């Protein structure tokens, strides 16, 4: 009899005193990521899931909801302690959670001092988890803020340089085309003839007549386009419509500037460095024309 009593005690201490009715087709999800993945990847199967305690349909009420909405509500149908999917009634009433019962069984043999120490330990662990969560959220916000500032800086660079190209074309046309269609001298903000475009018209002095085909391209094609693009890039800097930079528009500005250099033999000067204006940037070489 003593042996039987000992065996019975051993069985009782190994698990909950009241074994729970289990549906063999209702698995457990110990971690939140697992239940969220199940909802997101197998939503049709999820809405047919049975309660892990009473066996009734547990998630039918979510059938008309979107999966991404339901993933934010997992604790309304999932117990983080025992990992089961539960109906609304069992979730918010006592569903004989094994983990809770084991904790209660464990505490029966603890002294008041040990219980207090255990509670303090759990409170500290919860505080650490909360702080880690706050730190993670702060780091994510910082990353987003840095991204916003970085994109704003890049948009500003694009807008400024596009405006410089527009202003140069306007000044060049006003000085060298409108006045008898001849070069009248260097244009402010320009460097001299670079050797591109067969000598150009603005680097070696006045008097050179601009061919009509060149004049037509400058006036009817390059300048109108540069003016439109300059405005687009400025508006994107002031009021961005998305996280993406206007990469195609900027490529067109680069093309217009390269063609302008080819036709005029003149380059824009960088107001900060004093050297030729650079129209390519490190983030473009890295493929980071977007969110960066």
13 assigned to some structural domain: no
Question: Domain boundary residue among 120, 135, 159?
Answer: 120
Q: Is 261 a member of any domain? A: yes
Render pLDDT for 55-79 as a digit per residue (tens, 0 to 9).
Answer: 888 899 999 989 888 988 888 899 8
Q: Do residues 112 and 158 both lie within one domain?
A: no
Residues 230, 156: one domain? yes
- Give the domain extent around 26: 22-120
Query: Concatenated DSSP letters for the chain?
Result: -HHHHHHHHHHHHTS-SSPPP--TT-----SHHHHHHHHHH-HHHHTTPBPTTT-SB-SGGGTTS-HHHHGGGGGGTB-TTT--B--HHHHHS----HHHHHHHHHHTTS-HHHHHHHHHHHHHHHHHHHHHHHHHHHHHHHHHHHHHHHHHHHHHHHHHHHHHHHHHHHHHHHHHTTTTTB--SPPTTEE---STTTT-SSSS-S-PBPPHHHHHHIIIIIHHHHHHHHHHHHHHHHS-SSSS--HHHHHHHHHHHHHHHHHH--EEBPTTTSSBPP---HHHHTT-SS--
Same domain (yes/no): 156, 278:
yes
**Residue-level pLDDT at 292:** 41
Q: Do 172 and 269 sit in the same domain of this protein?
A: yes
In a domain? residue 27: yes
Q: Does one domain contain both 183 and 256?
A: yes
pTM confidence score: 0.53
Q: Is residue 156 part of a domain?
A: yes
- Co-location of 197 and 259 in the same domain: yes
Same domain (yes/no): 193, 275:
yes
Do 171 and 267 have their domain in common?
yes
Residue 185 lies in a domain: yes
Low-confidence ranges of the chain (pLDDT < 70): 1-26, 94, 98-101, 177-209, 286-292
């Amino acid at each position: 009899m003593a042996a039987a009593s000992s065996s019975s005690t051993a069985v009782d201490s190994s698990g909950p005193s009241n074994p729970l009715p289990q549906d063999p087709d209702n698995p457990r999800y110990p971690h939140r990521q697992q239940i969220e993945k199940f909802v997101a990847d197998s939503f049709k199967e999820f809405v047919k899931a049975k309660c892990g305690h009473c066996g009734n349909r547990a998630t039918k009420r979510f059938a008309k909801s979107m999966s991404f909405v339901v993933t934010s509500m997992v604790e309304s149908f999932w117990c983080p302690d025992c990992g089961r999917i539960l109906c609304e009634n069992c979730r918010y009433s006592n569903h004989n959670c094994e983990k809770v019962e084991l904790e209660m069984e464990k505490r029966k043999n603890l002294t008041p001092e040990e219980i207090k120490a255990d509670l303090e330990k759990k409170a500290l662990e919860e505080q650490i988890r909360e702080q880690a969560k706050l730190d993670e959220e702060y780091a994510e916000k910082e990353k987003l803020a840095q991204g916003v500032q970085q994109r704003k800086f890049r948009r500003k660079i694009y807008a400024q340089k596009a405006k410089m190209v527009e202003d140069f074309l306007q000044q060049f046309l006003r000085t060298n085309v409108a006045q008898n269609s001849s070069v009248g001298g260097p244009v402010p903000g320009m460097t001299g003839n670079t050797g591109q475009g067969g000598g150009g018209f603005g680097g070696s002095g006045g008097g050179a007549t601009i061919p009509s085909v060149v004049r037509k391209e400058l006036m009817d094609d390059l300048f109108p386009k540069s003016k439109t693009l300059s405005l687009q890039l400025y508006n994107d800097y002031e009021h961005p419509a998305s996280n993406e930079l206007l990469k195609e528009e900027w490529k067109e500005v680069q093309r217009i500037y390269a063609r302008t250099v080819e036709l005029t033999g003149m380059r824009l000067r960088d107001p900060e460095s004093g050297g030729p204006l650079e129209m390519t940037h490190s983030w473009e070489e890295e493929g980071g024309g977007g969110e960066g």
